[in-house]
Structure 1
Amino acid sequence: MTKLRDVAKLAKVSTATVSRVLSNAGNVTEKTRRKVLAAMEDLNYQPNFLGRQLRKMETKTILVVVPDIANTFFSKVLRGIESVANKNGYQVLMGDSQNKSENESEYLNHLRYKQVDGVILLTARTTPHLVEELSDSYPIVLACEYLEGSNIPTVSIDNISSARKITSHLIKLGHHRIAHIAGPKNVILGRDRLKGFEQALAQNNLEIDQILIQEGDFTYESGYRLMKKLLALQNPPTAVFAANDEMAIGAIKAIKHCQLSVPEDIAVVGFDDIQMASIFEPELTTVAQPTFEIGSTAMALLLSLMKKEKLNMKQFVLEEQMIVRESCGAKSNVIDSS
């Protein structure tokens, strides 16, 4: 069996230099790196990464836990995570918690068993004290969602402010009877976006009619079902703010199936700016989250934690944009978050 010292001998370098090439360290010249790689190829050398990782007590793997892999919002967040992870020699595993806190807790056990070096949670639905306790001993970053009062490194946007802005946009267009298809109230995102909706109404001296607030679950199906319920009211809304784009698209489908038009009869806005938002007809007015940047920032934070570096900042709130398209009835443009 070819050994590392055989590669070093053929390449006429030290075994330490071969190790630096294998670990992708930066203190090796490109000429030396090519020479070592050529020697490895000539000798058909297969490095024992597992043994090296065990000696260093690392797996070079991180785990990302998403609440629902069927939700396309998370695809660009994952790309952002992978872009930084791959550049730093890490592989990314993904776990789908299926919106169940017990599944999320199970995935966190990978840290205890040393099966991964760190975890990025794109969901925060497990018991808060469990995550807090684990974060004291293991590298954990929260992205997209957050835990109130937590000291865990977090990357997100200001969901309250964003929801307030897009609801205010509907009010400025002349709508006074606005419905909200909310996210689950046991999820921080659902509560924050509802709070922003209610703040916009209060700031404009509009009544908060509880019958116009319906709790969904962030799925297309719940948006469709709850829009049908709103349309059955004796005095239906003239506009609807859905807490994510999938529910907004479901709402538009329900409106069309009732032989009504968007935005002529009812204006609809969403949240997230998934790819389908600009393809669907009518194109959806929504809040665009910086998904790739959320992922890349979260992975950079996790790398710092895994290297035991001191963090100057732990809470990152990134800027969003309101994208005005056809579904609200206004002229299409991008409204800055400021």
Structure 2
Amino acid sequence: MAGTSEEESNIRSVGDFAKYLGLSRWTVSRILNGHTGVHEDTRKRVMDEMHRLGFQPNMMARSLKGAKTGLIGVCFQEIESPILARKISSLQESLRSRGLRGVMEITSGVAEAERDIINHFFSLRVDGIILIGSELAPEDPIFKRLSREAMPVVTVDAAYDIPLPRVELDRHMAMLLSLRHLQQRGHSSFALLGLESDPVYGARRIEGLKEAAKKLGLDWDGSFLSLKTESRKDWSYEYGYDLAQELLQLENPPRGVIALNDRVAIGAMKAIREWGYKIPKDFSVVGFDNLEIGQWTEPSLTTVGQNVGEIIEESIVLIQGLIDDGKKPNVAPVIRVQPKLIVRTSS
């Protein structure tokens, strides 16, 4: 490396790195393993120097000696969803700030691929595993291995209630916030655009809406209309546009609109305006995900924020605690992160 001293060039191991810094190997190892109990200034100095020098400890060699590798296996379903991409970005940043590294794998929503990836993580001797949007069923045989080998695992927004520590958005609360807001705006009938198209979280959101309707004194059968297209899986602006076209052809369409996501909501708003209606005077529209584009639409989009930063931070704190404790918890904890309704001019 240009500009480095001979001493810096000779750093080959954690011991060499510790000696160069004038610190004990024990202190440097604790920092590299993500342990607590080290002064923040010391931790920052070690991480800054490691990045400046480009020093990377031999994780596999350390794992064979029983030391932690600093590797976290991260398994997610796909990267096309903007909100999932945001979760991955936040996760990488949070891991990096703790001196950890994520080994990323994509399953494309195939349970068998997810199972194979978890087995691969074992071969890499990762310290822990985070499953984002896992679609494994509760009876999947991989859970026996995870339990037998006491691998620290945390799930984020899993599709099913699997027997693992998990962090998830409170989607029932998200639906209560949306529905109550529209009711307060004077709406008594509601169109659900594409919610049932989502095979993973759609059912939970419908359950949440039914609970909210009961709480708010609304008749489910008489006040709600759910629209979806069976063959559509893109959940895009175009999908929202098409569903709104179907809605607007009704003689007396519901005027309070709850969309699957922000893209569907924005597509729906385009169709509503093209029919000559005004938003929010004639229709109110609420999205989901709080994508940045929602601030720039006309009108700007009311939406539900998932608090992605908090979801990821909770998952990292949880996995690090499991790694440091070195034992499986007696009861798998469930952390539900609260959503936030962002009210803008579409409602």
Q: Tell me the residue number matched to 1:174.
A: 186
CA distance in 1, matches of 2:321, 2:72: 13
The structure-2 alpha-carbon separation of the partners of 1:93 and 1:112, relative to structure 1 and needing over 3 Å to count, comes to closer
Unaligned 5+ segments in structure 1 are 329-338
After TM superposition, the structure 1 = structure 2 runs for residues 84-103 of structure 1, keeping only pairs within 5 Å, are 84-103=94-113
Partner Cα separation in structure 1 for residue 176 and residue 218 of structure 2: 14
- C-alpha spacing 1:45/1:123, structure 2 compared with 1 (3 Å): closer
- Mapped partners of 2:41, 2:181: distance in 1: 55
AA aligned to 1:61 is L
Which among 337, 340, 346 is matched to residue 318 of structure 1?
A: 337
Task: Give the structure-1-normalised TM-score.
Answer: 0.77
CA distance in 1, matches of 2:167, 2:185: 32
Matched letter for residue 28 of structure 2: V
**Aligned positions of 1:83-162 closer than 5 A:** 83-114=93-124, 116-130=126-140, 132-136=143-147, 137=149, 138-145=151-158, 147-148=160-161, 150-162=162-174
Structure 2 equivalent of residue 336 of structure 1: none
Is the alpha carbon distance of 1:282 and 1:106 closer, same or farther for their aligned partners in structure 2, counting shifts above 3 Å? Answer: farther
Counterpart for residue 78 of structure 1: 88
Give the secondary-structure state (helix, strand or coil) at the position aligned to 2:240: helix
SS in 2 for 1:256: helix
Q: Which amino acid aligns with 1:204?
A: G
* SS, match of residue 198 in structure 1: helix
Query: Which deviates more, 247-256 or 314-323?
Result: 247-256
Normalised by the size of structure 2, how large is the TM-score?
0.76
- Aligned to 2:65, the other structure's residue is in SS state helix
Shift of residue 324 of structure 1? Answer: 1.1
Q: Distance in 2 between matches of 1:28 and 1:171?
A: 52
Instruction: Select 1:291's aligned residue among 300, 305, 308.
Output: 308
Q: Return the alpha-carbon distance in structure 2 between the equivalents of residues 120 and 177 of structure 1.
A: 40
Change in Cα spacing, 1:215 to 1:135, as seen in structure 2 (3 Å) is farther
Equivalent in the alignment of 2:211:
199
* Residue identity matched to 1:208: D
Partner of 2:201: 189
Identity %: 26
Aligned counterparts of 1:191 and 1:163: Cα–Cα separation in 2: 12
Task: Pick closer, same or farther for the CA change 1:13–1:318 going to 2, 3 Å.
Answer: closer
State the Cα deviation string for residues 87-128 of structure 1 (Å, max 9, x = none).
332112333333443443343232343353322222132333
Report the equivalent of 2:227: 214
The offset of 1:160, in angstroms, is 1.3
CA RMSD between the two structures: 3.8
Query: Using a 3 Å threshold, how does the CA distance of structure 1 residues 29 and 279 change in structure 2: closer, same or farther?
Result: closer
5+ long unaligned stretches in structure 2: 1-9
Q: Following TM superposition, by how much is the alpha carbon of 1:323 offset from its aligned partner in structure 2, in angstroms?
A: 1.4
1:179 corresponds to which letter in structure 2? A
Give the paired residue count: 320
In the alignment, which residue of structure 2 is the partner of 1:24? 31
Q: Which amino acid aligns with 2:249?
A: A
Q: Give the Cα separation in 2 of the matches to 1:282 and 1:12.
A: 56
**Residue 102 to residue 27, structure 1, CA distance change in 2 (3 Å):** closer
Greater shift in the superposed pair: 122-131 or 314-323: 122-131
**Which amino acid counterpart does residue 142 of structure 1 have in structure 2?**
T
8 Å CA contact retained: 2:74, 2:103: yes
C-alpha offsets along residues 181-228 of structure 1, whole Å, 9 cap, x if unaligned? Answer: 243467452111112223333442335259820246572243233222
Kindly indicate whether residue 249 of structure 2 is the aligned counterpart of residue 228 of structure 1. Answer: no
